[in-house]
Amino acid sequence: MHPFNKYFSIWFFSLFITFSQAYAQETEVTTPPAPTIAASAYFLEDFHTGKVLAESNADTRLAPASLTKIMTTYVVFRELSNGHLHLNDTVTISEKAWKTSGSRMFLELGNQVTIQDLLQGVIIQSGNDASVALAEHVAGDEATFADMMNQHALRLGMNNSNFKNSDGLPTPDHYTSARDLAILTTALIKEFPEYYRWFSQKEFTYNKITQQNRNKLLSRDESVDGVKTGFTDDAGYCLVASALREDMRLISVVMGTKSAIARANENQTLLNYGFRFYESHRLYEGNKPLNEAKIWKGASKSIPLGLNEDLYVTIPRRLYSDLKAVINIDSKIIAPIAEHTKLGSVKVTLKEDLIIEKDLVALQAIEKGNIFRRLIDSVLLMLEKSDNGK
């Protein structure tokens, strides 16, 4: 080999290795650890998947201050949805509600106030008087309303929560956790989107008094559309925030920061981290056919299969092309089949790691076929079994 060709080959090979390594470094995706947050507890999760992106002391039981009012409004929303209340129903303001201390809607004793105005007073103005008025109207007294709050907390899986009042004023044995608040906020947004819009409202006027929403992120970040602030001396400054960018919604919780500015800044830090380094995708729509399967002895020869709900995944950014989905269908599906019967699974992997698995279900009921269909299929199944046994 000519010396020039030899040296050129070595040079070209070295250059190729250098570019390959540079390209690999450029395309390699690394997700940095979550930032350090100056709070007693914090929690960040994807709304659709529940994937936790950052947490610290997430299950520690802490005083929630006015974050309590997220549960107060959730209970009232439930009562509205089941028809026990209506937004234009009026509430007579009791002496207890009128005298309640702390942040106020400035209700007047004996006045008649609509449920809708009281809800906005709770959500936007953080009115303790409005919280007590709603609790008394819904349950007769605040203690019974607190029992309702705890029943919903138990049902939702809020394992580190116990409520003693509707407004969050300090009282013994009244606590919740950052994770539980995320669970509650997720339920509220999913179940009551028509009412959730009030949490993005920046001000509310009642009794000729206009008060601003204390959630500073509503003015700072247009993707933020809620949720609730809280403060007492024992709880510190707290904030539950939710933001929607494109199709990805994140919920962040900070508890026990040192100032109103700090709680906004720390939440903003969490949200920016989540949106910067993660992405969320809806892979499949719920209650839509993904596949069909043969069904034996049925009134129909096939059955549509799908998912009970939308299937979302949360993954590090730029790894979407590495996702793989595999559909597994049960063998020998025999009628009758009830709607939503599990008949297989959908498994999604990322770089060979299983990240989510969902049941594949019947999207409609299939009754037994007539006697001729059942007889024919019985014979075919016997023949198939006999062939497989050879």
Catalytic residue list: 66, 69, 126
Q: Measured between alpha carbons, how far is 278 from 314 in angstroms, rounded to an integer?
A: 7
Rg, Å, the chain Cα set: 28
DSSP state of 76: H
Query: Which strands form 52-56's sheet, in the order they lie side by side?
Result: 52-56, 41-46, 248-257, 236-245, 224-232
CB atoms within 10 A of CB 367: 11
Reduced to 3 states, what is the DSSP secondary structure of residue 330? Answer: coil
Q: Measured between alpha carbons, how far is 171 from 122 in angstroms, rounded to an integer?
A: 19
Q: Measured between alpha carbons, how far is 343 from 294 in angstroms, rounded to an integer?
A: 11
Closest CA to 180 of 96, 55, 367, 345: 55
> E strands along the chain, which residues?
41-46, 52-56, 90-92, 112-114, 203-206, 209-212, 224-232, 236-245, 248-257, 278-284, 291-296, 302-306, 311-316, 323-329, 333-334, 342-350, 353-362
CB atoms within 10 A of CB 277: 16
